[in-house]
């Protein structure tokens, strides 16, 4: 059976996820993003992975405590050992027919590692649909933009 490049989690935002403003804490959202994308990347790699980069997290809208949260993670590009995962976080009230609203978007890059923590090869993701090809181009564009950002940041690292 072909490997699935996507993974979706759904759960309720709990009162323990609250921030000082009464909404879901940004740190909780980042933890969920890390967990879902880790599961997606590990499943694709068929083994343990570590995060090498998290970029461009944009919090579009707050999530209310008690909301149904849906997190979709998908592999959109693979290098030799790296997997670029696009993550979308959505939420909606539990009761009612309204659709999910996107609250957060980011790209997170994982590297598959061996037992000594060294990078190892991952299965290649080959996009086939128009949308998958577009997403791979998006990942490649961001990768190039990141080179400039890393150059700017280098003196401060
Ligand atoms: C991730 C890690 C294993 C990479 O090791 P490394 O010796 O730097 O490896 P390389 O330079 O060969 O890079 C490995 C891959 O990471 C990618 N990578 C490195 N820096 C990157 C960055 N800033 N953004 C995106 N990808 C990056 C490389 O492009 C390469 O991908 P490819 O094999 O698909 O071409 C190592 O840096 C590490 O262990 N980091 C700590 C990870 C960690 O603790 N994460 C948090 C908890 S999970």
Q: What is the CATH number of the domain that holds 86?
A: 3.10.129.10
Decide if 80 is inside a domain.
yes
Domains contained in the chain, number: 1
pLDDT tens digits for 5-21?
999 999 999 999 999 99
**87 assigned to some structural domain:** yes
Does residue 41 fall inside a structural domain? yes
Structure-block tokens of residue 143: 């990768």
Confidence of residue 157 (pLDDT cuts 50, 70, 90): confident
pTM assigned to the model: 0.94
Contacts of 35 (CB under 8 A, 6+ apart): 9
Cβ density class 84-111: b for 16+ within 10 Å, e for less:
bbbbbbbbbeeeeeeebeebbbbbbbbb
Report the pLDDT value the prediction gives residue 137, as an integer from 0 to 100: 98
Q: Categorize the per-residue pLDDT at 143 as very low, low, confident or very high, splitting at 50, 70 and 90.
A: very high
Instruction: For residues 2 and 23, give the distance between their C-alpha atoms in angstroms, rounded to a whole number.
Output: 39
Both tokens of 61, joined, read 């809208």
Q: If you average pLDDT over residues 98-119, what whole number do you get?
A: 96
**For the CA of 78, the nearest atom of ligand 1:** 34
Sort strands 6-12 and 82-92 into parallel, antiparallel or unpaired.
Answer: unpaired
pLDDT above 80: residue 1: no
Residue of the CA atom closest to atom 38 of ligand 1: 52
Q: Has residue 49 been placed in a domain?
A: yes
Q: For residue 14, how far is the Cα from the chain centroid?
A: 21
112 touches ligand 1 (CB under 6 Å): no
What percent of the chain is predicted at pLDDT more than 70? 99
Mean pLDDT of 120-146: 96
51 in ligand 1 pocket by Cβ < 6 Å?
yes
**Cα–Cα dist 59/153, whole Å:** 23
Ligand 1 lined by 55 (C-beta under 6 Å): no
Give backbone dihedrals phi and psi of 148, rounded to 5 degrees, phi first: -65, -45
Structural domain includes residue 1: no
β-partners of residue 48 are: none
Domain of residue 138, residue span: 6-156
Note the pLDDT tens digit of each residue in 57-106: 889 999 999 999 999 999 999 999 999 999 999 999 999 899 999 999 99
């Amino acid at each position: 059976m072909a490997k699935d490049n996507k993974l979706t989690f759904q759960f309720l935002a709990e009162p323990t996820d609250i921030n000082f403003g009464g909404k879901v804490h940004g740190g909780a959202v980042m933890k969920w993003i890390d967990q879902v994308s880790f599961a997606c990347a590990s499943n694709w790699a068929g083994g343990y992975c570590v995060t090498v980069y998290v970029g461009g997290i944009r919090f579009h809208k707050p999530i209310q405590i008690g909301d149904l949260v849906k997190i979709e993670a998908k592999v959109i590009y693979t290098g030799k050992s790296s997997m670029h995962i696009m993550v979308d976080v959505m939420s909606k009230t539990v009761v009612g027919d309204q659709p999910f609203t996107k609250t957060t978007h980011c790209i997170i890059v994982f590297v598959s590692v061996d037992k000594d923590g060294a990078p190892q090869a991952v299965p290649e993701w080959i996009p086939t649909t128009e949308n998958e090809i577009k997403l791979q181009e998006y990942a490649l564009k961001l990768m190039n933009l990141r080179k400039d950002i890393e150059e700017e940041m280098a003196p401060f690292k």
